[in-house]
């Protein structure tokens, strides 16, 4: 079946299943950790636990332990994060300028959360740590703070959050590189052709499409030699690898709490203070001011300058708790993801009719993310069938990185698809989940979905879907 930009109204395999294996109905699993091989390192208490560890989800055949392969979009909350939030809610109050006991406690925890994040990103003396809503907010804040003549250099592989906030007139987009060497050549040439006083290079830590880790230190060194500053998009990097501004040679780092097991609406922009202090406040209002008189306004310096209004205290505390947990268990987290990520990618590569994608080379170091297509099956149908038939959560589409995905799929020898499926491993993923995903994808590649699906305004849905989505509100 060829894939068109508009999927057909219905999909069902009509050819006989010549080699159909016996279908095993999935049964509920009361405790994910009781499965053989589940949480390979968590059994000895070395991995942080997530709140949703034993989540049962409905399928067409009943219910099953949820296999979460959507960590690159948002992560579940850690148990330690929930505990920190529950504790903070007991004394929750507005921060700063309040002299009540609860306000003073909350204010202290808010600034201690900033210190925890400062340690997590390896901030240097004089660097600022500004709390924002998310990575998109952080990049837009930095874009507002650039000196007027700043030229920005960004690869087209970037997530839209890092690609789009900059002034179109002063942004130089570099094409998708075919190799690490190509990326270095492209950046060096672009910087050589622009000799302005202020330059900013935008780099990804890890691709949100393929998971491949970019050569941060090498590209940052090229930028510094040309007199440019560097901002690192660590949204996909920080949950999996250690971030250190000085060690990586970058000037700023951006990250999101909801990708760091702290899904409470907080992001961070950390780095050099001069551009931040010289710019107008990102949010004009209370907290950003030193004084307001009839003659004018004197604005704060430091983080407060760009944190106008009442900040998301609970989000900051949640993020700090997550940063502490990930720092404490860094080696175990990396090993867990390395083991499962390697099995996931190797397993997908071994399935006939499945194509995986890389920016650099298939064996390039990456975090545990795999993007793939299944020949003859629309990617959104793949994700719908994985969910409805197997209790597996993945993401399909272009992952807010349209230019990158278009470049990867522009291959006359690959599956004729315009979108792809992304499977991303994290702390909620177990060895059993990986094996279930590989078996399900192999079945889809050989036989197609088990059920009949129709395509409508909500995408692909089973014709007879018993799963209830109108659950009672949680409030």
Q: 351 and 340: one domain? A: yes
> Measured between alpha carbons, how far is 257 from 374 in angstroms, rounded to an integer?
32
- Residue 413 is predicted with a pLDDT of 53
> Would 3 be classed as within a structural domain?
no
**For residue 65, what are the β-bridge partners?**
56
Chosen domain end from 328, 351, 382: 328
Residue 75 lies in a domain: no
* Both structure tokens of 440: 């399900």
Last residue of a domain, one of 295, 328, 361: 328
Active site residue 400: yes
What one-character DSSP code corresponds to residue 74? Answer: -
Domain identity same for 283 and 407: no
Is 359 in contact with 157 (CB distance < 8 Å)? yes
Q: Which residues contact 225 (CB under 8 A, 6 or more apart)?
A: none
Residue 19 pLDDT? 28
Give the bridge partners for 271, in sequence order: 128, 252
Q: Specify whether 163 is located in the same domain as 42.
A: no
Q: Do 399 and 283 belong together in one domain?
A: no
Q: Regarding beta strands 453-456 and 10-11, do their DSSP bridges make them parallel or antiparallel, or are they unpaired? A: antiparallel
Give the pLDDT of residue 412: 52
* Catalytic site residue from 145, 323, 400, 404: 400
Copy the structure tokens of residue 43. 């059994």
Tally of structural domains, the chain: 2
Pairwise CA distance, residues 234 & 206, whole Å: 7
H/E stretch holding 225: helix 216-225
Looking at the fold, whether 286 and 408 belong to one and the same domain comes out as no
Q: Give CA–CA dist 23/226, Å, rounded.
A: 60
CB 421 within 8 A of CB 370: no
State the residue range of the domain holding 235.
80-328
Same-domain pairing of 315 and 432 = no
End-to-end CA distance of the chain, in Å?
A: 45
Tell me the residue length of the chain: 475
What DSSP assignment string belongs to 369-429?
Answer: EEEEEETTB-HHHHHHHHHHHH-EE-EEE-TT-HHHHHHHH--TTS-S-S-EEEEE--TT-
Contact (Cβ atoms closer than 8 angstroms) between residue 120 and residue 323: yes
| Residue 319 backbone phi and psi in degrees, to 5 | -65, -40
pTM above 0.85, yes or no: yes
pLDDT of residue 469: 76
Examine residue 2 and state whether it is found in any structural domain, yes or no. no
* CATH code of the domain containing 117: 3.40.640.10
Q: What is the CATH number of the domain that holds 41?
A: 3.90.1150.10
Q: Do residues 86 and 18 both lie within one domain?
A: no
CA angle 204, 210, 212 (to 5 degrees): 55
- Whether 84 and 221 share a structural domain: yes
Q: Which residue has the tokens 């993801």?
A: 337
Q: Are strands 151-155 and 171-174 parallel, antiparallel or unpaired?
A: parallel
Residue 176 lies in a domain: yes
Q: Is residue 473 part of a domain?
A: no
Phi, psi of 410 (to 5 degrees): -80, 70
How do the residues of the chain divide into helix, strand and coil, expressed in percent and rounded to 5?
Answer: 35, 20, 45
Distance CA 395, CA 421 (A): 6
| Domain edge (last residue) among 328, 355, 388 | 328
Please tell me whether residues 346 and 260 are part of one structural domain. no
Same domain, 104 and 59: no
- Same structural domain for residues 132 and 243? yes
pLDDT tens, the chain, 475 aa long? 333 334 444 444 433 322 233 233 333 323 322 222 334 333 334 899 999 888 999 999 999 999 999 999 999 999 999 999 999 999 999 898 888 999 999 999 999 999 999 999 999 999 999 999 999 999 999 999 999 999 999 999 999 999 999 999 999 999 999 999 999 999 999 999 887 789 999 999 999 999 999 999 999 999 999 999 999 999 999 999 999 999 999 999 999 999 999 999 999 999 999 999 999 999 999 999 999 999 999 999 999 999 999 999 999 999 999 999 999 999 999 999 999 999 999 999 999 999 999 999 999 999 999 999 999 999 999 999 999 999 999 999 999 999 999 999 986 555 457 899 999 999 999 999 999 999 999 999 999 999 999 998 888 999 989 987 778 888 9
Claim to verify: residue 430 and residue 391 sit in the same structural domain: yes
Asked whether residue 472 is domain-assigned, the answer is no
What is the per-residue pLDDT for 167?
Answer: 94
- The answer to the question of residue 403 being in a domain is yes
In a domain, 474, yes or no: no
Distance between CA atoms of residues 79 and 51, nearest Å: 5
């Amino acid at each position: 079946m060829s894939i068109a930009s508009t999927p057909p109204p219905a999909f069902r395999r009509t050819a006989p299943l010549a080699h159909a294996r016996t279908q095993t109905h999935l049964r509920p699993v009361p405790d994910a950790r009781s499965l053989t091989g589940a949480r390979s390192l968590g059994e000895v208490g070395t991995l942080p636990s997530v709140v949703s560890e034993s989540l049962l989800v409905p399928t067409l055949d009943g219910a099953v332990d949820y296999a979460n392969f959507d960590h690159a979009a948002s992560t579940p909350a850690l148990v330690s994060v929930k505990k920190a939030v529950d504790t903070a809610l007991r004394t929750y109050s507005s921060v700063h300028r309040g002299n009540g006991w609860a306000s003073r406690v909350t204010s202290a925890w808010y600034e201690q959360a900033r210190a925890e994040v400062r340690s997590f990103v390896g901030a240097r003396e004089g660097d600022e740590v500004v709390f924002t809503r998310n990575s998109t907010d952080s990049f837009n804040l930095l874009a507002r703070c650039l000196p007027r003549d700043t030229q920005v250099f960004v690869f087209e592989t970037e997530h839209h959050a890092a690609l789009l906030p900059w002034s179109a007139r002063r942004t130089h987009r570099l094409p998708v590189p075919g190799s690490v060497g190509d990326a270095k050549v492209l950046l060096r040439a672009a910087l050589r052709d622009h000799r302005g006083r202020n330059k900013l290079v935008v780099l990804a830590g890890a691709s949100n499409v393929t998971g491949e880790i970019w050569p941060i230190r090498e590209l940052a060194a090229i930028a510094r030699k040309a007199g440019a500053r560097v901002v690192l998009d660590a949204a996909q990097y920080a949950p999996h690898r250690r971030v250190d501004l000085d060690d990586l040679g970058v000037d700023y780092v951006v990250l999101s709490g909801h990708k760091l097991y702290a899904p409470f609406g907080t992001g961070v922009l950390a780095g050099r203070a001069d551009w931040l202090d010289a710019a107008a406040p990102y949010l004009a209002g209370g907290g950003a001011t030193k004084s307001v008189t009839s003659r004018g306004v004197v604005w704060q310096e430091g983080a407060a300058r760009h944190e106008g209004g009442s900040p998301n205290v609970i989000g900051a505390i949640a993020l700090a708790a997550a940063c502490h947990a990930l720092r404490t268990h860094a080696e175990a987290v990396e090993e867990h993801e390395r083991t499962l990520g390697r099995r996931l990618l190797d397993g997908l590569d071994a399935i006939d009719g499945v194509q995986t994608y890389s920016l650099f080379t298939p064996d390039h170091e990456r975090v545990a993310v795999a993007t793939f297509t299944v020949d003859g099956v629309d990617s959104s149908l793949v994700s719908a069938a994985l969910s409805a038939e197997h209790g597996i959560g993945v993401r399909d589409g272009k992952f807010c990185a349209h230019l990158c995905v278009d470049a990867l799929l522009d291959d006359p020898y690959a599956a004729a698809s315009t979108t792809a499926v992304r499977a991303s491993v994290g702390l909620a993923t177990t060895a059993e989940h990986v094996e279930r995903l590989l078996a399900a994808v192999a079945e889809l590649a050989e036989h197609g979905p088990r059920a009949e699906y129709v395509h409508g305004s909500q995408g692909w849905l089973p014709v007879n879907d018993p799963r209830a989505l109108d659950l009672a509100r949680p409030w």
